[in-house]
Structure 1
Amino acid sequence: MAITVPRSDPLPRTILVADGNSDCRELLSLYLKLLNYPASAEAADGEETVRKALIERPDLIIMEIFLPKKHGFEVAAQLRANPLTRDTMIVAATAMVLPDGRERCLAGGFDAYLAKPFTMRELGDLLQTIFSPDASSDRP
């Protein structure tokens, strides 16, 4: 059964997928493609995530917290400190499912949190919220 999210906005969205696990990157990129939000770039570690975010200037970064070379919280802090990327939406897509994991991610510079494993429907709902033309400047 395919789940699709209707695209209400005519503009293409750029999404950077960052995960140290190639299978997770591949699955997330597949989910995004099936939801009509194909990933425009991928990163395998924290340093590459920062570099690609500065070059690509994506609308959204979906990032694992536990990245090689630079932890996700460090990446988020570095991106928030840079005027070029400070307003980029960053979603934590992580297996960090501690009781306070969501709160820690939101306090650490992330705009939203998806606990792994998440479904394509959960991802689609989040993307719909983020990219909705009715979305205000408030973060989801």
Structure 2
Amino acid sequence: MKQKQRIFSLFLLVALVFSLAAPVSAAGEMNFTDVAPDDWYYTYVKDLYDNDIVHGTTPTTFSPQGQVTLGEALKLVLMSAGYGDQTPTGSHWASGFYQLAQENGFLPSGLSLGLNDPINRLQIAEIIVNVLDLSRT
């Protein structure tokens, strides 16, 4: 059952993926002026925020219509799959997540994005399939 919950959570991330940003503030009370309690994604953003997986683009802005970068997507997927927060291995805050993904073969072949480059939903889905070791049938 836990595997099904993780898969469901990760696919919810794909639905939200273009609304997430790099760390700016710590988990706790969520004060985003652009995420209202009646937004369909509010509880998902709140759960991920409370678990210190997502943060705002500023302390008061989440930017739900923004694009997500490779670095942000790697953090979302890997932490949602049970991997811990990664210490940077280079100058980019997500370099540790990138190294973990690279070492474990989670990155799609031919992916040529920098950590700050926008990533599309197909590429994120491919990473999720690799992280969860799902077969394509």
Would the TM-score normalized by the shorter structure come out above 0.5?
Answer: no
Query: Under a length normalisation based on structure 1, what TM-score does the superposition of the two structures give?
Result: 0.30
User: Which has the larger strand fraction?
Assistant: 1
Between the two structures, name the one with larger relative contact order (CA 8 Å, sep ≥ 6). Answer: 2
Query: Under a length normalisation based on structure 2, what TM-score does the superposition of the two structures give?
Result: 0.31
